[in-house]
Amino acid sequence: MAYSSIVKPSVYFNTKLYTGTGNSLNVTSVGFQPDMVWIKDRTGTNNHEIADAVRGANYQIYPNLANAQTNAGGHLTAFASDGFTLGTDGATNTNNSNYVSWNWKAGTGQGSSNTDGSINTTYTSVNTTAGFSISTYTDTGSNATIGHGLGVAPKMIIIKSRSHAKDWTVYHASLGNTKWLELSGSAGEQTNSNRWNNTSPTNQVFSVGVDSGINGSGYTYVAYCFAEKTGYSKFGSYVGNGASDGSFIYTGFKPAFVIAKRSDAGAAWVMYDSKRDIDNPSNHRLLSNASNAELVEDANTNIDFLSNGFKTRNADSDSNASGGTYIYMAFAEEPLVANSGTDGVPATAR
């Protein structure tokens, strides 16, 4: 039984740590040419930044802010075959500061227009193997559909207005097509038909209502769409138990990266990865909705990365409140692979 065509997930997603120099810097050993790079200063309180190959390397958007995209110069200046190049701006390259970058591979480059929806995308770069696409589009202000190119329905969609200061909008399949979350805020799930037009994504398109956060007349947007790939990525939900022997969340693989958000109440978006914590517990925590420096937490906020999922080791409301409902996205360090006579052999535990 084949569980995933992705034998080596690190050629589609990888976490790369680096130390700033204050001079032009080539960050290498990513393992592929990334099409989306999300950077956070671990040492200081600089904003999160995302650059992607569809909008262009020199354009920044900030996951913890509602701001429109900027072209400030000196940030990420180019994508390279094994990483990316940084200018001298301190947000991404302060001398002796420590940084983390999370890197995804889409279609290698800007892509082309997708015409599957009622609105044609300006560009769509898609990787159907890894279940990831990046699209830019200009909206009409009327209910519409937009092609994502994945060939299967995405489980998570993250949209940001490029032209206007609007909060980030997140669709997650666990919440359904009437609800949405703000990546740039801590609020719980909100209900509004003007976001997704009460319509779930299909294998070709996702739907947008008339809210200007995702569909303002003449506004420009970027959409990051993620489809689930068995043994490589997982987009699900869980219920917290409020105990130090916390909830176990099955993903089917050993996670390399996890973002989780309480959806039924206000809480931070918490981010963990296996490069900042090579052993359990994972306690170096960043918040995607805040510019805080990296928090090295105590036992109240730890999680463990296990061979087939992750487990909360805390009673913290951001990840394990008793009865709290959480959504998450996770990417694999090693895939679940087929094994004759069993239902698959997960990677070894840490």
- Name the percent of the chain lying above pLDDT 70: 92
Q: Is the pLDDT of residue 349 over 60?
A: no
Distances (CA, A) of 112 to 90, 121, 151, 225: 33, 8, 16, 16
Q: How far apart are CA 334 and CA 275, in angstroms?
A: 13
Examine the pLDDT at 334 and tell me if it is beyond 70. no
Query: How high is the pLDDT of residue 244?
Result: 83
**Integer angstrom CA distances of residue 86 from 60, 97, 101:** 12, 14, 12
pLDDT score, position 3: 43
Cβ-proximal residues to 341 (8 Å cutoff; 6+ apart), any chain = none
pLDDT tens string 13-43: 999 999 999 999 999 999 999 999 999 999 9
For 45, the token pair is 């309180």
The answer, yes or no, to whether residue 11 has pLDDT greater than 50, is yes
**What's the pLDDT at 279?**
77
As a whole number of angstroms, the distance between CA 95 and CA 310 comes to: 34
φ/ψ of 196, rounded to 5, equals -105, 10
Q: What pLDDT is attached to residue 335?
A: 52
Listed residue (329, 311, 310, 348) closest to 102, CA to CA: 329
List CB contacts of 94: < 8 A, sequence separation 6 or more: 20, 22, 41, 43, 44, 46
Give the span between the Cα atoms of 323 and 36, in whole angstroms. 35
Tokens representing 55 are 């909008």
pLDDT the model gives residue 5: 56
DSSP E strand boundaries for 69-161: 76-80, 83-86, 98-104, 123-127, 132-138, 144-147, 156-161
Give the mean model confidence (pLDDT) for residues 284-295: 92
**Among residues of the chain, what percentage have pLDDT more than 90?**
81
- What does the pLDDT read at residue 302? 81
Residue 299's pLDDT is 54
Q: Does residue 1 carry a pLDDT above 80?
A: no
- Quote the pLDDT of residue 316: 83
- 293-304 pLDDT, tens digit per residue, is 998 865 556 888
> CA nearest 303: which of 321, 334, 277, 326?
277
Q: Which of 27-31, 44-48, 170-174, 346-350 has the lowest mean pLDDT?
A: 346-350
Which DSSP helix (H) or strand (E) runs through 221? Answer: strand 220-226
Region 47-69: mean pLDDT is 97
In this structure, how many other beta carbons lie within 10 angstroms of the beta carbon of residue 136?
21
Average pLDDT of 157-185? 97
Q: Say which residue the tokens 């022997």 belong to.
A: 245
Q: What is the pLDDT of residues 119-160, one digit of tens each?
A: 999 999 999 999 999 999 999 999 999 999 999 999 999 999
Amino acid at 81: S
pTM as predicted: 0.94
199 pLDDT more than 80:
yes
Query: CB within 8 A of 315, min separation 6: which ones?
Result: 242, 243, 244, 246, 300, 321, 322
pLDDT for 350 equals 53
DSSP 8-state secondary structure symbol assigned to residue 93: H
Between 8 and 346, the higher pLDDT residue: 8
Confirm if 289 and 261 have CB atoms less than 8 A apart: no
Write the pLDDT tens digit of every residue in 78-110: 999 999 999 999 999 999 999 999 999 999 899
Helix (H) or strand (E) holding 214: helix 212-215
> What average pLDDT does this structure show over 234-256?
93
Residue 229: left if φ>0, alpha if ψ -120 to 50, beta else—which one?
Answer: beta
Distance between CA atoms of residues 223 and 54, nearest Å: 10
Burial of 343 (0-12, 13-18, 19+ CB in 10 A): exposed
Cβ-proximal residues to 45 (8 Å cutoff; 6+ apart), any chain: 291, 292, 293
